[in-house]
Amino acid sequence: QSVLTQPPSASGTPGQRVTISCSGSSSNIGSKFVFWYQQLPGTAPKVLMYNNNQRPSGVPDRFSGSKSGTSASLAISGLRSEDEADYYCAAWDDSLSGWMFGGGTKLTVL
């Protein structure tokens, strides 16, 4: 069981907006930056969001991140078929002195 909790699946139709949640605690999300990673089928993960809500260059502004207390969210607007992937949140945990990942959310574009 992961320290960071994500829903195992999410779905939406093209053009819709979907949100993926990530719940943690005071020792991780509550006091540290949250990162989001996208893993397309058969490929290595890539960073999608850093420092809660910052997009690396090349990531479309359809992707946005937010954090409140011990929870974080990734929102994808204008959903496209190429967004179908696994999404993971991550944060450093002070109590465990290590990086923690959420269990991952499989996004399906219907």
Burial 53-65 (b: 16+ CB within 10 A, else e): bebeeebeeebbb
Site string for other proteins, 47-66 (x = CB under 8 A): x--xx--x-x----------
As given in the structure block, the two tokens for residue 60 are: 């479309």
- List the one residue from 18, 22, 85, 100 that touches other proteins (CB under 8 A): 100
Number of residues that bind other proteins (CB under 8 A): 25
As given in the structure block, the two tokens for residue 53 are: 């809500």
Binding of other proteins by 22 (CB under 8 A): no
Using CA atoms, how far apart are residues 7 and 36, in angstroms rounded to an integer?
Answer: 14
The residues that touch other proteins, with contacts defined as CB under 8 A, are 2, 33, 35, 37, 39, 44-47, 50-51, 54, 56, 86, 88, 90, 96-104
